[in-house]
Amino acid sequence: MEILPLSEKVKNKIEKQGLRRKFDKQTKLLINNLKHPGLNIELLEPREYGIYSFRIDIKHRALFVFRPDKQAVEILAITLHYR
């Protein structure tokens, strides 16, 4: 599995929020082990859209979709996540 190139919007959000190191660490986990507990992957509602999220840190999550045609993951956005 691979991660498709990030959009400029996603790249800018990562840099602006100072998430580069954390994001890189989490995406390596995503590529190597989708079931790693540190990712805390969730299928978001409505489920039929197939949008998932993984934890970057306690405050930020990355929204993504699986692209089975390319056997890849596409990161759609970086969002705030409060519990």
CA dihedral sign of residues 45, 36, 14, 57: positive
DSSP per-residue codes, 31-65: HH-TT-TTT--EEPSSGGG--EEEESSSSEEEEEE
Q: Is residue 19 part of a domain?
A: yes
Share of the chain above pLDDT 70, in %: 98
How many C-alpha atoms does 26 have within 13 Å on its Cβ side? Answer: 24
Q: Is residue 40 part of a domain?
A: yes
At residue 1, the pLDDT reads 84
Q: Is residue 3 part of a domain?
A: no
Q: Is residue 22 part of a domain?
A: yes
Number of separate domains in the chain = 1
Q: Is residue 16 part of a domain?
A: yes
Please report, for the domain that includes residue 37, its CATH number. 3.30.2310.20
Q: Is residue 67 part of a domain?
A: yes
Q: Is residue 4 part of a domain?
A: no
The residue range of the domain holding 37 is 9-80
Greater confidence (55 vs 82) lies with 55
